[in-house]
Amino acid sequence: MINRTIAPKYYDATSFELNLKPYELAYLDNNTPVYSINAGAEEVTSIEFVFYAGNWFEKEHLVAATTNFLLKNGTSTKSAFEINELFEFYGAYLSRSCYNETASISLHCLSKHVQILLPIVAELIQDSIFPDKELEIYQKNNLQKLNVNLLKCDFVANRKIDEMLYGFEHPYGTYTRKEDLESLGKVQLETFYQTYYINGNCKIFAAGKLPSDFLSILNNHFGKMTLKNEVNPLDKTAHPIIRDIEKKAEILNDPNNVQGAIRIARPFPNRHHPDFQKVNVLNTIYGGYFGSRLMSNIREEKGYTYGIGSYLQNHVQESAWMISTEAKREACPMVLEEIWKEAKLLQENLVDEEELSLVKNYMIGSILSSLDGPFSIISRWKGYILNGMDEETFQRNISIVKSITSEELLELANKYLKEEDFYQLTVI
């Protein structure tokens, strides 16, 4: 029996040598790459089909997200109900997601059902028909959600801060509007589907206990498709960034609201910049985990909010450093004051060794826990591959976390944490 009066042994996470389990790479007959991790103790499999079909590629607002959502809502031989019934019958889960650059279809199922379910996924990718009734339901539901969400200060703040940073016409700054939802048409969806799914750029990521004939099954159903494998389709389309001229804004969204949402953000280089991972350490100290300075001061000490955080956005082309919180309406000015007070402290004082060691252990420990199991590992690889990075990046980032000094953090704070470089937004 465990003696719970004795504390467990303490390990310094920074002393661990972390390695990212390599993936296997194969190609289907049509040159579609398949990245896989064949591991795990359970008889389960995850297969994700990633298409370059995010809103980066749409000509009309919302077409990318709507096309992706309606992929499983009807083919020429199956209704949306029949498709859902099929996956439920086999205890499988089929999801789809649309992001700025990419869109995906993910299948999670028992390994023994891969051969039965993959043909249905192939049918969705090649034979979706976007029934009028399903589109009508989608529009109606999303209009209702939009009307409700527009009353929430955090929802409005999230939309507006992205628009301030990138401009509404940029894929990273756009958002859902009523008129865009109402103007969606079947022809737009079919055209997008034809271009970016049937003839689109696809990468396949698989993990878990894969069947012995997994590649053969994939090739039978997807290897004859007219898919492409371009290195970086994003480069074909340029989207100019038009940032707001005014850097500070206050929006009164609901005069009766008792809560305010604060968003503060500045443009920041993407993950290829040499300062990105170093600033990731600085951000963790500032507002990147539960014990951060923003949390300790504004939540624990002052009690202005239930939570406050900061993070580096993870877009492929452009990025931003964002601070985000909600607070009592009257407390918003004091929260802003404390946010900048903590930034000033990082610019003027060295982070002491105890705090730096704690944050390094937290970050390495987080990476360690994120490598637990084949699904987590392929997810990390997917992020690297879609961002054009490799295992060397993983080792370099680990090394930066372990070796960064207080002097470097002070220099970075003075370079990137200046108040005048940030957009500041309060929505009541």
Q: Give the chain's mean pLDDT.
A: 95
- Structural domains of the chain, with CATH: 21-223 (3.30.830.10), 248-427 (3.30.830.10)
Q: How confident is the model at residue 12 (pLDDT cuts 50, 70, 90)?
A: confident
Q: Given a cut of 80, is residue 231 above it in pLDDT? A: no
Residue 105 pLDDT = 97
In this predicted structure, what is the pLDDT of residue 56? 95
Q: Report how far residue 33's alpha carbon sits from residue 24's, in angstroms, rounded to the nearest whole number.
A: 10
Give the pLDDT confidence of 323-366 residue by residue, as tens digits: 999 999 999 999 999 999 999 999 999 999 999 999 999 999 99
The answer for residues whose C-beta is within 8 angstroms of residue 138's C-beta and 6 or more apart is 66, 69, 70, 73
In this predicted structure, the answer to whether residue 226 has a pLDDT above a threshold of 80 is yes
Reported confidence tier of residue 314, pLDDT bands at 50, 70, 90: confident
Handedness of CA 291, 295, 299, 301 (dihedral sign): positive
The answer to whether residues 103 and 68 touch, using CB atoms and an 8 Å cutoff, is: yes
What's the pLDDT tens digit per position in 260-311? Answer: 999 999 999 999 999 999 999 999 999 999 999 999 999 999 999 999 999 9
The pLDDT of 121-147, averaged and rounded, is 97
Q: What is the pTM of this model?
A: 0.93
**75: three-class secondary structure by DSSP:** strand
Does the pLDDT at position 1 exceed 80? no
Asked if residue 53 lies in contact with residue 192, where contact means CB atoms within 8 angstroms, the answer is yes
Position 41 scores a pLDDT of 87
User: What is the reported pLDDT for 17?
Assistant: 87
Gyration radius from the chain CA atoms: 24
Q: Which residues lie below 8 Å from residue 226, measured CB to CB, with a gap of 6+? A: 30, 198, 199
* Furthest C-alpha separation in the chain: 68
Task: Give the Cα separation of 113 and 90 in Å (integer).
Answer: 7
Closest CA to 139 of 78, 74, 197, 70: 70
Query: Is the confidence at residue 9, as pLDDT, over 90?
Result: no
Confidence of residue 234 (pLDDT cuts 50, 70, 90): confident
- CA distance between the termini of the chain: 54
